[in-house]
Amino acid sequence: AQSVAQPEDQVNVAEGNPLTVKCTYSVSGNPYLFWYVQYPNRGLQFLLKYITGDNLVKGSYGFEAEFNKSQTSFHLKKPSALVSDSALYFCAVGRRSARQLTFGSGTQLTVLP
C-alpha cells in the first residue's frame, strides 16, 4: 500500500519570500515521488520527480524538492515566490512495481503581492 499526506490545505506567502509546500509519504520499498501543479480550469502539469540519486531535485519554473528518507518527506520549495506561482499543488507517490500513482489532497498556494 502507498499513501501521501499534504498537511496544509492552504499556504500563503508574500511575493519574493521563500515558499515551502509540505508532503510526507508512506510506501513499502523505494518510493517514486512527484509534484504536480494545477492552475485554475486546467489539468495537472508535471513539475518534478524523484526516482533515485541526488536528494535535491530541480524542476520547472524554479521549483525544487528535497527527498528526506528518514523523515519520509518530499517538500516542495522555491527560493523566491511569484504571484504567478499561485495554484493548487499535488504531491504523488508510486513504486517501481506499482501500476498506480497515489495523490495527496492538494495544497492551495497563494502568493500575495
Partner 1 sequence: EAQVTQNPRYLITVTGKKLTVTCSQNMNHEYMSWYRQDPGLGLRQIYYSMNVEVTDKGDVPEGYKVSRKEKRNFPLILESPSPNQTSLYFCASSHSGTPGGNEQFFGPGTRLTVL
| Residues found near partner 1 in the complex (CB under 8 A) | 6, 9, 32, 34, 36, 41-46, 49, 51, 90, 94-101, 103-106
Minimum CB separation of residue 99 from partner 1 in Å reads: 5
In the bound state with partner 1, the residue whose beta carbon lies nearer, of 20 and 38, is 38
Q: Distances from the Cα of 70 to the Cαs of 11, 53, 67, in angstroms?
A: 24, 15, 9
Give ∠ CA 59-62-66 in degrees, rounded to 5: 55
Instruction: Tell me phi and psi for residue 61, to 5 degrees.
Output: 60, 25
In the bound state with partner 1, the residue whose beta carbon lies nearer, of 15 and 22, is 22
Minimum CB separation of residue 44 from partner 1 in Å reads: 4
